[in-house]
Amino acid sequence: MKIETGIKKELFTFGFDEEKEGYRDGVFYLKRPETREEARRRGAEAVAIMDKLKIKESYASTSSLGEFSMDFVEGVLLADYDFSRRRKGEDDEKTLWVEEAPWLEEVLQVKDAVFFARDIINEAPSVMNPEEFALRARQLEEIGLEVEVGEGSWLEENGFFGTLAVGRGSAVPPRVVIVRYRPSHPRGRLALVGKGITFDSGGLNLKPSKAIKGMHMDMAGAGAVLGAMRVLPALEPNCEVLGIMPLAENLPSGSSYKPGDIIEMANGKRVEVDNTDAEGRLALADAIVYAERQGADAVVDLATLTGAAVVALGELVAALYSTDEDEARAFMEASSESGEMLWRMPLLDDYRKELESRRADIKNAGYGRSGGSIMAALFLREFVSEARWVHLDIAGPAMIDKPFFYMPAGATGFGVRLLIEYLRSKR
């Protein structure tokens, strides 16, 4: 969707009306929203109308859209995405005309960040491996961010022993991408950690056929972090932000890590591998320890971590866990603004016993799916020392089977706008 500025009332025009939806007097009226999220969804409805009527060019009447003009346009932009159509190169681009507005550049930057994440996450797994992800991350150097790629001996020297174990079965070695945003006078240091398992077969605990489909999107957490980092030079938060993305392929081979292996992690804890399909938490644990060693006073991680979170909350809501009430509140407020839905989940110590091991300090998985999302969060908490910590299990909304308003089937880019709204509070 192209955005052009100017008053074009002669075009097919969208507006809001409190009483009656439908086309009249040269305007297609949509039901007036009551919230920002409803306005975004009206934007998605407008795209559906344009597709149905085969309209290539339309006008958004900001005088009619009023206070929700920005959110309506954001919904239009986010809804007009199709990875397969982009790859085929079909000429299906639409244009929306809007009046010049101070928020327009901001909306376009957010859209670009979300699409950047969606494209990376949707990419075929034979293309988007740890090496290719690192190459895409290098693009952020062009906008003034610092990008470092750790590989080989760097991983051992910096304690990424879980990530190394997970990636042992692949011909493509693991990597860790680190992106830094440094303001002139930072107040604090924040780490954003994204799970980057570029393909998850389950390892030797191989997933069944139905479950393995879509596992090229198991790096949606890393994709969301990388997408959000793109906006920071324009957003200008007053804290230093460190994006940390451990990347690996979890594949079965003669060199794969095995159930029963014991991994000594960077913080000294020994982890018994109970299930090689509980691999993401090993990579995240590495990154959390590294973040604190880099001086992060707050750590936020995003991960498509457990099927249990999907069972509990479905495809539209992510699970939020936190050790800090202020940070949890900040994310719930960001959720309300962005429309990316969260539900606060408990860190129940009673479930910790399910992770006890007779051979090591802790196991990487409990038994079955019961409370599985909580137990995964409890495992990660073992690797948090002093930092304020937020864990987002985005397994449900990161990738969906059917379109939902402005969220397309496949990778949704969930978490990008949530992180951006959260970081606004750091300005």
**Active site (catalytic) residues:** 207, 281
Residues 6+ apart with CB under 8 A from 225: 179, 192, 193, 194, 243, 244, 245, 302, 415, 419
Per DSSP, helices labelled H in 230-324 are: 232-235, 280-293, 307-313
Residues 286, 265 contacting (CB under 8 angstroms): yes
Separation in Å, CA 12 to CA 4, 15, 59, 223, 280: 14, 10, 6, 36, 48
| Three-state DSSP class for residue 95 | strand
| Three-state DSSP class for residue 235 | helix
Cβ neighbour number for residue 177 with a 10 Å cutoff = 28
Taking the alpha carbons of 60, 419, 245, 400 in that order, is the dihedral positive or negative? negative
Q: Which two tokens stand for residue 324?
A: 């800090």
Residues 229, 241 contacting (CB under 8 angstroms): yes
Residues 339, 40 contacting (CB under 8 angstroms): yes
Cα 272 to Cα 377: distance, rounded to the nearest angstrom: 17
